[in-house]
């Protein structure tokens, strides 16, 4: 479980996006965590923001920043954290990002929250609940993410089909 001390050590601070990127590509995680961020220039991100604004009923959802690290959408009335995604590609990464939010908030004493992944384009909803098994998986994952973030060298990876949709493609392979 994440403690206050962890929160104050820079490499120990793990954001939800980093959990997501870890499951997509370890090189992407390393680049992102070393301050090389391409997503803010991506059309897909602009589309994601637009979908986000159009998907939530005004007034029910609050966007909250937790510890200056996690930006979450919280529906207080149902105790649900929502995460909007454009497509189900990389669904495992989306699910674990949401598990991580639930895990982190549990560490802050907020137990029993629910998670919901929303795919507005396909009108799909996936519900996510934290279990002890998932928490154990997350703890291993977080240790590995921290090791990658601390590493001075970028992980070597092969070109994969997913690189064609990645905002870092030109940097990695251009």
For binding to ligand SF4 (CB under 6 A), which residues are involved?
25, 27-28, 157, 162-163, 166, 168-169, 172
In the complex with ligand SF4, the residue whose CB is nearer, 25 or 70, is 25
- Tally of residues, the chain: 174
Closest approach, Cβ 27 to ligand SF4, in A, equals 4
Closest approach, Cβ 121 to ligand SF4, in A, equals 22
In the complex with ligand SF4, the residue whose CB is nearer, 44 or 162, is 162
Closest approach, Cβ 20 to ligand SF4, in A, equals 12
Closest approach, Cβ 149 to ligand SF4, in A, equals 15
CB 126 within 8 A of CB 139: no
In the complex with ligand SF4, the residue whose CB is nearer, 13 or 28, is 28
Closest approach, Cβ 57 to ligand SF4, in A, equals 34
What DSSP string runs through the chain? ---HHHHHSGGG---HHHHHHHHH-HHHHHHHHTT---GGG-HHHHHHHHHHHHHSPTTTEEEEEETTTEEEEEETTTTEEEEE-S-STTHHHHHHHHHHHHHHHHHTT--S-EEEEEETTTTEEEEE---HHHHHHHHHHHHHHHHHHH-SSPPP----GGGGG-TTHHHHH-
In the complex with ligand SF4, the residue whose CB is nearer, 102 or 166, is 166
In the complex with ligand SF4, the residue whose CB is nearer, 26 or 118, is 26
Q: Which residues pair with 63 in a beta bridge?
A: 73
């Amino acid at each position: 479980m994440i403690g206050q001390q962890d929160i104050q050590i820079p490499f120990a601070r793990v954001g939800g996006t980093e959990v997501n990127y870890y499951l997509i590509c370890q090189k992407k995680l390393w680049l992102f965590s070393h301050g090389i961020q391409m997503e803010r220039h991506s059309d897909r991100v602009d589309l994601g923001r637009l979908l986000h604004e159009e998907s939530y009923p005004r007034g029910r959802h609050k966007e909250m920043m937790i510890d200056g690290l996690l930006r979450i959408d919280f529906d207080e009335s149902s105790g649900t954290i929502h995460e909007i995604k454009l497509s189900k590609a990389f669904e495992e990464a989306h699910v674990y990002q949401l598990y991580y939010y639930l895990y982190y908030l549990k560490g802050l004493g907020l137990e029993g929250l629910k998670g919901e992944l929303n795919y507005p384009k396909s009108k799909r909803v996936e519900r996510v609940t934290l279990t002890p098994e998932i928490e154990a998986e997350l703890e291993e994952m977080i240790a590995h993410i921290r090791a990658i973030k601390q590493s001075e060298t970028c992980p070597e990876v092969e070109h994969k089909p997913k690189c064609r949709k990645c905002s870092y493609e030109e940097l990695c392979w251009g």
